[in-house]
């Protein structure tokens, strides 16, 4: 087993993945809380994909210039950021305008009194 900084490789990858996933979730949430459009979350997720590839290269001697790896990383991070954006946006719409909207599932809202 490969050891890096007095611990094994597996926990470091798990911790690294946790922080990148957490960053993607918080990015999507931050964009929704500040009422930014959805495409802002997409752009920042693409940038996080670059950060993920670089940190994997710098810390774990991974492959930096891998298009397939970047596409996979960026797609997962984009999915997490979009999930967080929509979840937070639905929650914010109902909290901000309780007289107009009610929750319609975890990712949506509807006008009060609208047909169900």
CB atoms within 10 A of CB 112: 12
pLDDT tens by residue, 53-102 = 888 888 777 788 888 888 988 999 999 999 999 999 999 999 999 999 99
Which pLDDT value is given to residue 66?
A: 85
In a domain, 37, yes or no: yes
In a domain, 107, yes or no: yes
In a domain, 2, yes or no: no
In a domain, 1, yes or no: no
Rounded CA-CA distance 109/100 in Å is 10
In a domain, 116, yes or no: no
Rounded CA-CA distance 65/27 in Å is 24
In a domain, 4, yes or no: no
In a domain, 5, yes or no: no
Selection from 16, 18, 28, 15 nearest residue 80 by Cα: 28
pLDDT tens by residue, 2-57 = 444 444 566 666 767 788 999 999 999 999 999 999 999 999 999 999 998 888 88
Which pLDDT value is given to residue 6?
A: 42
Q: How many structural domains does the chain have?
A: 1
In a domain, 87, yes or no: yes
């Amino acid at each position: 087993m490969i050891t890096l900084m007095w611990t094994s490789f597996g926990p470091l990858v798990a911790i690294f993945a946790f922080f990148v996933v957490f960053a993607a979730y918080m990015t999507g949430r931050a964009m929704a809380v500040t009422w930014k459009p959805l495409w802002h979350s997409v752009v920042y997720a693409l940038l996080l994909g670059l950060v993920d590839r670089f940190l994997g290269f710098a810390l774990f001697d991974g492959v930096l210039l891998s298009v397939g790896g970047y596409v996979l990383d960026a797609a997962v991070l984009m999915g997490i950021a979009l999930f967080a954006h929509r979840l937070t946006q639905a929650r914010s719409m109902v909290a901000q305008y309780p007289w107009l909207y009610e929750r319609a599932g975890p990712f949506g809202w509807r006008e009060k009194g609208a047909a169900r």
